[in-house]
Amino acid sequence: MELIWFILAAYGLTFILVFGSIFNPIRPTAGKLGELFHCPLCTGFWVGVFLWSLNGATELFNFE
């Protein structure tokens, strides 16, 4: 069940970062960061790495 929560959190965060209109004023449009924030696969990978790194500091995802 924890894996499902992790997947849903990663998907939601990726969708918000790539397609959310709230980030339009601050989302980079040129360069490598511009490419990163317009590619759901690239952003999703880094969101997964970020959430995995938070795993030890939070009780949200417990993989044992």
Output the pLDDT for position 52.
Answer: 85
The tens digit of pLDDT for each residue in 28-48 reads 888 888 888 899 999 999 999
pTM of the entire predicted model: 0.78
DSSP letter at 37 equals T
Own/partner pairs, 54-62, CB within 8 angstroms, 24+ separation: 60/5, 60/9, 61/2, 61/5, 61/6, 61/9, 62/2
Residue 59 has pLDDT above 90, yes or no: no
Distance CA 17, CA 27 (A): 8
The tens digit of pLDDT for each residue in 5-26 reads 888 989 999 999 999 999 888 8
Output the pLDDT for position 26.
Answer: 87
Residue 62 has pLDDT above 70, yes or no: no
